[in-house]
Amino acid sequence: MLLSAIVFLPLLFALIIALWPKETSLRHLALGFSLIEFFLSLSVFQKFDPSSASLQLVEKHVWIERFGISYFMGIDGLSLWLVLLTTFLMPIIILASWKSINTRIKGFHACLFILQTAMLGTFLAIDAIFFYIFWELSLVPMYFIVGIWGGSRRIYATVKFFIYTMAGSMLMLVAMIYMMYLTQEATGQMSSNLLDFYKLKIPFIGGQFFSLQTLLFFAFALAFSIKIPLFPLHTWLPDAHVEAPTPGSVVLAGVMLKMGTYGFLRWVIPLFPEASEYWAWLFMLIGVVGIVYGALVAMVQPDVKKLVAYSSVSHMGYIILGLFSFNVFGLQGGLYQMLNHGVSTGALFILIGMIYERTHSREISKYGGLAGVLPLFTIFFFIVTLSSIAVPMTNGFVGEFLILLGTFKVMPVFAYVAVLGVILGAVYMLWMFKRVFFGEPGPLVKDDHHPLHDLNFREVTVLVPLVVMIFWMGLFPNQFLDWSKASVDHLVQNRSAYNLTIYGASATPAAPLVAEPPTPTAEPTTESTPMPEAPSPTTDTTAEPGE
């Protein structure tokens, strides 16, 4: 019940907000709701067993029997932190948009909560069609958020965003239906259950593009690549980010892009092991190109928000690099970097939103010398900048270090280029920082008619949790990585024949008696290799330089 409550409670909140009669108390109500949701999601920790790689807190009901579609949700180490990231960012977003969203407040908050349901559903659904419904549903509220509350070119941006993502995912739907028929062939019973998909052995012929596994692989990969977005498919992202209102950008960068990378982790890599191994070079190449390209383009942006948008392209390149290195370091790093990017880029967008509320401009050249006027703002911005360029002690360092380590073990060449991206990242962020905060005061800063005020209490409240997370994740990565370790190990070791068990096998009536055995019996057969010991000491050592 817990997962259902987490996923569908926001939908109920959206309904209440839509019917709430008083506009003045709406924001408080929304904030309260989002906090309830956050605390509810924290209770997952109590019931979650980090030592098990199997699917936990499972809820499974038959939905459409004819096609074997089920209402199937479960959580494991891969999705745990993404769920928490989503619920963590939501109160922050609502508080951050307290002043900036002034029209149609009701609709805005209703959209946010529907979006939250869709995103959480995407992370928790373990049934292909069920997943697809949430995946597509997430487009609709985001479409309205960008289109109604966005900037001047919002309509172009939002339609582009919608069509790009929709077009990408249509082929995935065809692939899913096709795989449903494959399960029918294999077991005699059609099913869209992901656990049944995992059991399929899809024939793979290397070097032949028009072979079954390769085609299915690319149908899925295309949908997720557009969402991430990977290098040649990224053009919707800068438009959407720049035109979106601040909360929209935060959700988009913080969570929605992770839906793509999570898709790779949950769907593509375990479902098509041979194809993803065969084509790993392509995705690593795209990742590396994205890292460098994103960084170079970010460098020359005159608009701060666009700069951060392109930096997202660069950061997402790291994640894909980590995921396709197929070792514990790369996968853990990729997963960690998803969270880092959610926190630090989210914080950057919030900060940019705050300064935009004051000056109504995002042009770098109009600023300068901001540090003298807004000291508090400068401090926060600096911390977040450091996190974004992966300075040790901040969260960004742990993620990028693990990814580079993982990449180095498989394809050193890509690691060399990716390290170049780290330098470029520092260049564009620090250069921007210098031009905005130091030097001669720009026209917007020394405008005596509109003196700038430093952060108020609300804005500090928004930023403090993010900064706390930046250092917490930077200093004690194991507190986070331990929760996902079992799942990642399991994925790395059994990649060629991935399977997921249901925790405690509660699906069978005899569950209480054999609650423990299934997990241990499943593990020993796969843990015969000496690998599992490796990750924990290494993740320890990565933390040490920071301390």
Say whether residue 438 binds another protein (CB under 8 A): no
- Would you say 210 or 457 has its CB closer to another protein? 210
Name the DSSP class of 153. T
* Residue 229 in tokens: 């977005």
Q: Which is nearer to another protein, 140 or 200 (CB)?
A: 140
Among residue numbers 270 through 309, which ones bind another protein (CB under 8 A)? none
Q: How far is the CB of 174 from another protein (least distance, A)?
A: 6
Taking residue 61's Cβ as centre, other Cβ atoms within 10 Å add up to 9
Residue type present at position 346? G
Type of residue found at 474: G
Using the rule CB under 8 A, give the single segment among 39-47, 64-72, 198-206, 377-385 that binds another protein.
64-72
Task: Give how far Cα 209 sits from Cα of 181, 212, 269, 476, Å.
Answer: 21, 8, 17, 44
User: At closest approach, how far in Å is the CB of 190 from another protein?
Assistant: 9
Q: What are phi and psi of 62, to 5 degrees?
A: -70, 135
Examine residue 143 and tell whether it contacts another protein (CB under 8 A): yes
Contact mark string toward another protein, 349..388, x via CB under 8 A: ----------------------------------------
Shortest distance (Å) from residue 267 CB to another protein: 17
Stretch that binds another protein, among 147-155, 282-290, 358-366, 407-415 (CB under 8 A): 147-155
Among 12, 15, 42, 64, binds another protein (CB under 8 A): 64
Rounded distance between C-alpha atoms, residue 29 and residue 18, angstroms: 12
Q: What SS3 class is residue 192?
A: coil
Question: Does 129 engage in binding with another protein (CB under 8 A)?
Answer: yes
Residues 6+ apart with CB under 8 A from 398: 333, 336, 340, 473, 474, 477, 542, 543, 546
Q: Judge whether 112 and 120 are in contact, CB under 8 Å.
A: no
Check residue 162 for interaction with another protein (CB under 8 A): yes
- Member of 29, 133, 420, 430 binding another protein (CB under 8 A): 133
Nearer to another protein, 217 or 293 (CB): 217
Give burial (CB, 10 Å; 0-12/13-18/19+) of 508. Answer: exposed
Shortest Cβ 78–another protein spacing (Å):
23
**Unique residue bearing structure tokens 């065809």:** 174
Q: Which is nearer to another protein, 110 or 411 (CB)?
A: 110
Residue 73 contacts residue 59 (beta carbons within 8 Å): yes
Contact segment (CB under 8 A) with another protein among 21-29, 148-156, 331-339, 395-403 equals 148-156
The full 3-state SS of 282-330, as one line of letters, equals: HHHHHHHHHHHHHHHHHHCCCEHHHHHHHHHHHHHHHHHHHHCCCCHHH
Helix orientation angle between 77-96 and 457-475, rounded to the nearest 10 degrees: 160
Site residues for another protein, 325-354, by CB under 8 A, read none
**CB of 24 vs another protein, minimal distance in Å:** 19
DSSP type of residue 511: G
- In the bound state with another protein, the residue whose beta carbon lies nearer, of 15 and 376, is 15
Decide if 397 contacts 474 (C-beta within 8 A). yes
CB of 65 to another protein, least distance (A): 6
Among candidates 304, 390, 296, which has minimal Cα distance to 349? 304
Residue closer to another protein, measured from CB, 260 or 333: 260
154 binds another protein (CB under 8 A): yes
Residues contacting another protein: total by CB under 8 A:
33
CB of residue 254 to another protein, shortest distance in Å: 23
Which range, of 19-27, 63-71, 267-275, 499-507, touches another protein by CB under 8 A?
63-71
- Sequence-distant (6+) residues with CB within 8 A of 215 are 175, 209
Asked whether 313 and 293 are in contact (CB, 8 A), the reply is yes
Q: Which stretch binds another protein (CB under 8 A): 74-82, 166-174, 371-379, 388-396?
A: 166-174
Give min distance, CB of 249 to another protein, in A: 18
Beta bridge partners of 62: 70
Interacting stretch for another protein, rule CB under 8 A, among 93-101, 128-136, 343-351, 404-412? 128-136
- Choice from 36, 137, 212, 296 touching another protein (CB under 8 A): 137
Which range touches another protein (CB under 8 A), out of 155-163, 405-413, 463-471, 515-523? 155-163
Place of tokens 């899913």: 176
Q: Does 148 bind another protein (CB under 8 A)?
A: yes
Based on CB atoms, which residue is closest to another protein, 223 or 352?
A: 223
Closest listed residue to residue 199, CA positions, set 187, 211, 216 = 187
C-beta closer to another protein: residue 140 or 393? 140
Question: At its nearest, how many Å lie between another protein and the CB of residue 117?
Answer: 11
Using CB under 8 A as the binding rule, whether residue 114 contacts another protein is answered as: no
Q: Is 156 exposed, middle or buried (0-12, 13-18, 19+ CB in 10 A)?
A: middle
Using CB atoms within 10 Å of the CB of residue 534, give its burial: 0 to 12 exposed, 13 to 18 middle, 19+ buried. middle
State which of positions 170-229 bind another protein (CB under 8 A): 170-171, 173-174, 177-178, 180-181
* 25-33, 162-170, 250-258, 275-283 -> range binding another protein (CB under 8 A): 162-170
Residue from 33, 123, 132, 220 touching another protein (CB under 8 A): that is 132
Q: Annotate 446-481 with DSSP letters as a single string.
A: S-SSS------HHHHHHHHHHHHHHHHHHH-HHHHH
Q: How far apart are CA 460 and CA 375, in angstroms?
A: 12
**In angstroms, rounded to a whole number, what is the distance separating the alpha carbons of residues 130 and 120?**
12
Which residues bind to another protein, rule: CB under 8 A? 63-67, 69, 129, 132-133, 136-137, 139-140, 143-144, 147-148, 154-155, 158-159, 162-163, 166-167, 170-171, 173-174, 177-178, 180-181
